[in-house]
């Protein structure tokens, strides 16, 4: 039998320190320690703001992390991942688009802090990179807004309307800006450090109605997302 994945939500997950590992030699544990120290310094300079973050133990900086000299190396690596992996996955040829960092900010969640469900309106893709977290300081939860089943949904593993991912130092997640998500409360006495960002991508010289054949890949494998399954209901890879 064939199964087609319709309207999938593409979450990109890589890590600069763990598996699935990105092979970048400059994103070391020492560098993440430096970023954490800089976030502590930013917190002293910037009283921050309240958006989706809840409780007094949470701090969210104002925008501008991408302009901070300490973070410039990290932002450059995030842009490289978008340029070399994310956009080619979507079918754009490399060097045929601009990546525009719309805004970026820092988050520290202490005991009890959480982020209510929200979207990142006005952008193409958004992301989070964990600067310091062991994994138990509050998962990010991605919530499916599409009622694929109306009325009843059997409790089976592939019918999952909430995807949870634990925070871990060095991990980078990127998701559509319209994907509903929240951060579960931090129930530990450790603080959870992350940065968040939004970005847009524009094909170079693109105008509506223009043929952009020279900017897109012609060799995408399994563009239709059709998978075959065996007699046990497992994908045949
Ligand atoms: Fe968010």
Per residue in 91-122, pLDDT (tens digit) is 999 888 999 998 999 999 999 999 999 999 98
φ, ψ of residue 181 to 5 degrees: the values are: -150, 165
Average pLDDT, the chain: 93
Pull the structure tokens for residue 153: 């949904």
Residue 72 lies in a domain: yes
Q: How far is the CA of 180 from the centre of ligand 1 (A)?
A: 8
Domain count, the chain: 1
> What tokens does 162 get?
């909430």
Query: What is the distance, to the nearest Å, from the Cα of residue 165 to the centroid of all Cα atoms in its chain?
Result: 11
Average pLDDT over residues 220-233: 95
Question: Mean pLDDT over residues 225-231, rounded?
Answer: 96
Percent of the chain exceeding pLDDT 90 equals 76
Residue 213 located in a structural domain:
no
Going from the Cα of 231 to the center of ligand 1, the distance in angstroms, rounded, reads 40
Q: Give the Å distance between the CA of 94 and the centre of ligand 1.
A: 27
Residue 79, in any domain of the structure:
yes
In the reported structure, the alpha carbon of residue 111 is separated from the centroid of ligand 1 by a whole-number distance in angstroms of: 19
Residue 151 forms part of a structural domain: no
More confident residue, 209 or 233: 233
* Cα–Cα distance for residue pair 56/45, rounded to 1 Å: 17
Is residue 191 domain-resident?
Answer: yes
82 CA from centroid of ligand 1 (Å): 18
Q: 100: CA distance to ligand 1 center in Å? A: 18
- Distance from the CA of 159 to the center of ligand 1, in angstroms? 24
Does the pLDDT value for residue 33 go beyond 90? yes
211 lies in a domain? Answer: no
pLDDT computed for residue 21 by the predictor: 87
Q: 126 CA distance to ligand 1 centroid (A)?
A: 8
Q: Which domain holds residue 94?
A: 2-146+156-206+220-228
Task: State the average pLDDT over residues 148-157.
Answer: 85
Q: pLDDT grade, residue 214 (50/70/90)?
A: confident
Residue 208 has pLDDT above 80, yes or no: no
Residue 121 lies in a domain: yes
> pLDDT (tens digit, 9 = 90+) per residue, 177-191?
999 999 999 999 999
Secondary structure string (H, E, C) spanning the chain = CEEECCCCCCCEEEECCCCCECCCCCCCHHHHHHHHHHHHHHHHHCCCECCCEECCCEEECCCCHHHCHHHHHHHHHHHHHHHHHHHHHHCECCCCEEEEEEEEEEEEECCCCEEEEECCCCCCEEEEEEEECCCCCCCEEEECCCCCCCCCCCCCCCCCCEEEECCCCCEEEEEECCCEEEECCCCCCCCEEEEEEEEEEEECCCCCCCCCHHHECCCCCCCCCEEEECCCCCECC
215 assigned to some structural domain? no
CATH number of the domain where residue 28 is located: 2.60.120.620
């Amino acid at each position: 039998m064939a199964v087609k994945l319709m309207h999938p939500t593409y979450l990109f997950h890589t890590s600069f320190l763990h598996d699935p590992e990105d092979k970048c030699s400059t994103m070391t544990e020492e560098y993440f320690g430096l970023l954490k120290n800089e976030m502590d310094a930013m917190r002293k300079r910037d009283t921050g703001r309240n958006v989706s973050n809840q409780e007094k133990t949470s701090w969210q900086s104002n925008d501008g992390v991408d302009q901070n000299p300490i973070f410039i190396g990290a932002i450059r690596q995030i842009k490289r991942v978008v340029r070399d992996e994310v956009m080619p996955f979507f079918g754009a040829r490399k060097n045929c688009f601009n990546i525009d960092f719309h805004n970026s900010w820092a988050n520290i969640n202490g005991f009890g802090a959480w982020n209510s469900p929200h979207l990142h309106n006005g952008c193409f893709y958004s992301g989070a990179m964990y600067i310091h977290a062991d994994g138990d300081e509050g998962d990010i939860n991605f919530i499916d807004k599409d009622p694929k089943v109306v009325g009843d949904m059997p409790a089976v593993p592939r019918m999952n309307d909430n995807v949870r991912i634990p925070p871990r130092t060095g991990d980078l997640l990127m998701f559509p800006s319209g994907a509903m998500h929240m951060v579960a409360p931090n129930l530990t006495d450790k603080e959870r450090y992350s940065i968040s960002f939004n970005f847009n991508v524009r094909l170079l010289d693109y105008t509506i109605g223009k043929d952009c054949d020279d900017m897109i890949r012609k060799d995408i494998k399994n563009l239709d997302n059709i998978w075959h399954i065996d007699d046990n209901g497992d994908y045949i890879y």
